[in-house]
């Protein structure tokens, strides 16, 4: 099997499905999604809680229902999907090598590719939690899959490390399934997930949250028997004398997500060390011609609706690239300035050829710390403010989205610009 497609999308999660749909609607004839799972929907399938779709559908949907809308549309549009299939390699000339057990080793050529592999969870090893190495230390997303998809309960008494969204959602879920969630501990002095999840998942279920607290060590030979927690100071160092021993059989880690870019690197896509994802322009184009990327593979979003939106942009531009309709002649860089930790896009096209592209440019940012009162996010060209965006407050857990008109931006840009900076003032 060796086939050429207009657009091939890696991953049938929210970003990939949206990209496929928009690619097809934009005119790409042959569109293929390659998915490693046995069905489309990605991580949404295990997110059986509600909270999805408020932006795109003005509805409060559970994950599978949100996915279903896209899956149905993709099927109606005749988008091909290949399941249980793992992509092993992507080259800069857009050759894709993949494998599955029903068709064997596969080779494809794509006129354009959209990378939509999503992200993975940070693990115990990455934060080097001391102690023994028993069974019972799980990442939150893995437990979500075990409980919601496989129907298996991995423990009875849980301590959760990290106040990320999946951790809090799983605290509620495990409680409903009959487990006891003893406590959620968070290293930072603030909540790292969304406030609404704190209220709906912890407060409403009387689950205690301890900020500025971490796990000092894990105890237990075969299965977790206890954890020792400890308070940390402002520099995140343990404070002696604040240790607390908690008996439990399971530890759930919700300590962050990392864009999954092993394939991207193989194809020569350049990554941003801050986001961990590809450096993209406003069209979700990477530095490799014809390779686009969208969703959590680019930067970690908090709302799936924006992941889908990014997928639409990537899919549309991939289709246009496949049809030979686009060409960017010149870029300026976008950098994170004071108060901003990450920003996408990291570059903006300022001279475009051929067919005009969308004029709406979305900047998506995370701040470095909590800003309790009103702030202004400014897009600067040297000392000149190109665009400004107000927020009532800002938290690292909540992404800030700023819309800028492309014509307006390029008109205001100085001829000898040294690049754009977004900062908080």
| Interface residue list for another protein (CB under 8 A) | 36, 84, 86, 88-89, 97, 99-105, 120-121, 123-126, 128, 130-135, 138-139, 141-142, 145-147, 149-156, 177-178, 216-219, 221-223, 238, 258, 262, 265
DSSP state of 16: H
Given phi > 0 = left and psi -120 to 50 = alpha, else beta, which region is 159? beta
User: Of 77 and 135, which has the nearer Cβ to another protein?
Assistant: 135
Minimum separation from the CB atom of position 221 to another protein (A) = 6
User: Of 254 and 293, which has the nearer Cβ to another protein?
Assistant: 254
Minimum separation from the CB atom of position 98 to another protein (A) = 9
Surface-to-core class of residue 314, CB atoms within 10 Å of its CB (0-12 exposed, 13-18 middle, 19+ buried): buried
Surface-to-core class of residue 79, CB atoms within 10 Å of its CB (0-12 exposed, 13-18 middle, 19+ buried): buried
Minimum separation from the CB atom of position 60 to another protein (A) = 24
User: Of 102 and 390, which has the nearer Cβ to another protein?
Assistant: 102
Interstrand relation of 157-161 and 250-253 (parallel, antiparallel or unpaired): parallel
User: Of 26 and 250, which has the nearer Cβ to another protein?
Assistant: 250
Minimum separation from the CB atom of position 258 to another protein (A) = 8
Spatial separation of the C-alpha atoms in residues 280 and 346, rounded to whole Å: 6
User: Of 13 and 315, which has the nearer Cβ to another protein?
Assistant: 13
Non-local CB neighbours of 227 within 8 Å, separated by 6+ positions: 131, 159, 215, 216, 217, 218, 219, 245, 246, 248, 251
User: Of 36 and 423, which has the nearer Cβ to another protein?
Assistant: 36
Question: What element of type H or E holds 263?
Answer: helix 262-266
User: Of 122 and 389, which has the nearer Cβ to another protein?
Assistant: 122
Query: Sheet of 244-247: strands edge to edge?
Result: 213-219, 226-231, 244-247
User: Of 83 and 371, which has the nearer Cβ to another protein?
Assistant: 83
- CB of 294 within 8 A of CB of 313? yes
Query: Sheet of 180-185: strands edge to edge?
Result: 137-139, 250-253, 157-161, 180-185, 209-210
Minimum separation from the CB atom of position 18 to another protein (A) = 22
**Which among 270, 277, 328, 266 has a CA at the least distance from the CA of 300?**
277
Non-local CB neighbours of 273 within 8 Å, separated by 6+ positions: none
Minimum separation from the CB atom of position 220 to another protein (A) = 9
Minimum separation from the CB atom of position 132 to another protein (A) = 5
DSSP-based three-state secondary structure for 312:
helix
Minimum separation from the CB atom of position 146 to another protein (A) = 6
């Amino acid at each position: 099997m060796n086939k050429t497609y207009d657009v091939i999308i890696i991953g049938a999660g929210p970003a990939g499905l949206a990209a496929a749909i928009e690619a097809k609607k934009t005119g790409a004839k042959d569109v293929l999604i390659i998915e490693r799972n046995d069905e489309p929907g990605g991580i949404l399938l295990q997110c059986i809680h509600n909270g999805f779709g408020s932006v795109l559908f003005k509805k409060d949907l559970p994950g599978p229902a949100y996915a279903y809308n896209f899956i149905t549309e993709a099927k109606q549009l005749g988008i091909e999907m290949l399941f249980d299939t793992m992509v092993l390699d992507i080259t800069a000339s857009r050759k894709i090598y993949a494998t599955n057990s029903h068709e064997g080793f596969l080779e494809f050529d794509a006129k354009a590719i959209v990378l939509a592999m999503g992200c993975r969870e940070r693990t115990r090893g990455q934060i080097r939690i001391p102690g023994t190495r028993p069974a019972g230390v799980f990442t939150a997303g893995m437990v979500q899959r075990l409980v919601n998809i496989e129907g298996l309960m991995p423990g009875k008494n849980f301590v959760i490390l990290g106040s990320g969204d999946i951790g809090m959602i799983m605290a509620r879920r495990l409680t409903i399934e009959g487990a006891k969630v003893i406590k959620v501990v968070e290293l930072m002095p603030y909540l790292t997930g969304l406030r609404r999840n704190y209220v709906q998942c912890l407060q409403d279920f009387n689950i205690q949250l301890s900020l500025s607290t971490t796990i000092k060590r894990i105890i237990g030979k075969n299965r977790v028997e206890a954890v020792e927690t400890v308070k940390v100071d402002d520099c995140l160092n343990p404070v002696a004398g604040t240790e607390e021993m908690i008996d439990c059989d399971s530890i759930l880690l919700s300590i962050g997500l990392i864009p999954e870019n092993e394939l991207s690197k193989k194809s020569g896509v350049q990554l941003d060390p801050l986001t961990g994802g590809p450096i993209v322009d406003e069209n979700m184009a990477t530095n490799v011609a014809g390779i686009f990327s969208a969703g959590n593979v680019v930067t970690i979003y908090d709302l799936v609706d924006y992941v889908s939106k990014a997928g639409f942009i990537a899919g549309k531009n991939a289709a246009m690239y496949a049809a030979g309709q686009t060409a960017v002649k010149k870029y300026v860089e976008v950098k994170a300035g004071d108060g901003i930790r990450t920003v996408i896009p990291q570059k903006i096209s300022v001279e475009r050829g051929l067919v005009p592209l969308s004029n709406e440019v979305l900047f998506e940012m995370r701040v470095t710390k909590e800003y309790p009162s009103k702030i202004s996010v400014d897009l600067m060209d040297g000392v000149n403010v190109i665009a400004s965006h107000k927020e009532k407050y800002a938290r690292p857990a909540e992404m800030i989205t700023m819309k800028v008109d492309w014509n307006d931006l390029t008109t205001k840009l100085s001829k000898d610009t040294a690049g754009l900076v977004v900062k908080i003032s």
